[in-house]
Chains A and B, each alone.
Chain A
Amino acid sequence: MANLLFYIFAFLTVVCAALVVVNKNPVNGAMFLLLSLVGMAGLFVMLDAALLAFVLLLVYAGAVVALFLFIIMLLDTRPESLKPFKKLSILASTVGGALLLLGVYSLSHRVMLSSAAPVGPAPTLKNYAEQLFTTYLLPVQVVGFMLLIAMLGVIVLSKKFAPVEDAK
């Protein structure tokens, strides 16, 4: 049963990710990204990280994809031009893709990672909170400041400043 669920979620994630790449229309791409995220959240649940699945859906599906859709709506979405690629970029992408596929191959054929799951601390909300507020207190603060800085940066970036007049 659990295996079947894993295959379903993995299939959903990978196929929808591939559809994000091949879709001509960015709106459809964003929708498939959403579906891929749902599959990923399912995989997280299967890894006993239900809380993270929840956060993933809230942050990504709720905020990030909605933001993408807004921006796609704001900008024009002309179909992509079909200019041919440069020779150098074709070569580079072939080599890069081949290297990554080699990694996939060697992982699936050579490496034997342990499949036994040791018993660790249960991933409950309480344990997460304990880690976040004891061991990782400083990173939490830093991330909070990062969010503030990002917010200010976005306001500055998206505001239209009038050209500065001579201060007389």
Chain B
Amino acid sequence: MLDGEAPAAIGLNAYILISLLLFVIGFIGVLLRKNTLVIYMCLELMLLASTLALVAFSRFNGTLDGSVFVFFILTIAAAEVAVGLAIIVALFRKRHTVQVEELSALKN
């Protein structure tokens, strides 16, 4: 890239900003939604936000370690989704609801 164009290029800042915004959106979703499945999707969004930050840092550090770590995160996330959804299905079988405010058997 030419030197004259360099300031206009997208830097690390922009990627981290996008990642933070995604994290905030996922966080708000986890707090506000009451359907367990949607909460789970928002958790995935938060995980993806951290993944984006890792890839951006790895790219701007000039190493591959962060990207390799993202491989592991994706693998673990896939396993986590499978187990979590199985738990939700088992919960639904027992309680016939997935709304969090009705799942208060452990309260008190």
Q: Are B89 and A128 in contact (CB under 8 A)?
A: no
Question: Interface residue tally of chain A, by bracket?
Answer: 35 or more
* A100-B23, A108-B13 known; A75 vs B98 contact (CB < 8 Å): yes
Question: Interface residue tally of chain B, by bracket?
Answer: 35 or more
Q: From A56, which residue of chain B is reached at the shortest CB distance?
A: B74
Interchain nearest-CB distance for A40 vs B (Å): 6
Complex contacts, B44 vs chain A, CB 8 Å: 33, 60, 64
Q: Are A55 and B74 in contact (CB under 8 A)?
A: yes
Complex contacts, B42 vs chain A, CB 8 Å: 20-21
Complex contacts, B58 vs chain A, CB 8 Å: 49
Q: From A85, which residue of chain B is reached at the shortest CB distance?
A: B32
Q: Are B76 and A153 in contact (CB under 8 A)?
A: no
In the bound complex, CA of A115 to CA of B82 (Å): 38
Per-residue interface assignment for chain B, residues 16 to 30, with 1 indicating a CB less than 8 Å from any chain A CB and 0 otherwise: 111011111111110
In the bound complex, CA of A138 to CA of B35 (Å): 38
Q: Which of A55, A71, A104 lies in contact with B24, CB distance below 8 A?
A: A104
Per-residue interface assignment for chain A, residues 134 to 164, with 1 indicating a CB less than 8 Å from any chain B CB and 0 otherwise: 0110010001001100110110011000000
Q: Are A14 and B21 in contact (CB under 8 A)?
A: yes
Interchain nearest-CB distance for A147 vs B (Å): 6
Q: Are A100 and B20 in contact (CB under 8 A)?
A: yes
Complex contacts, A120 vs chain B, CB 8 Å: 61-64
In the bound complex, CA of A55 to CA of B59 (Å): 17
Task: List 6 tightest A-B contacts by C-beta distance, closest first.
Answer: A115-B11, A120-B62, A150-B79, A21-B29, A118-B62, A157-B86
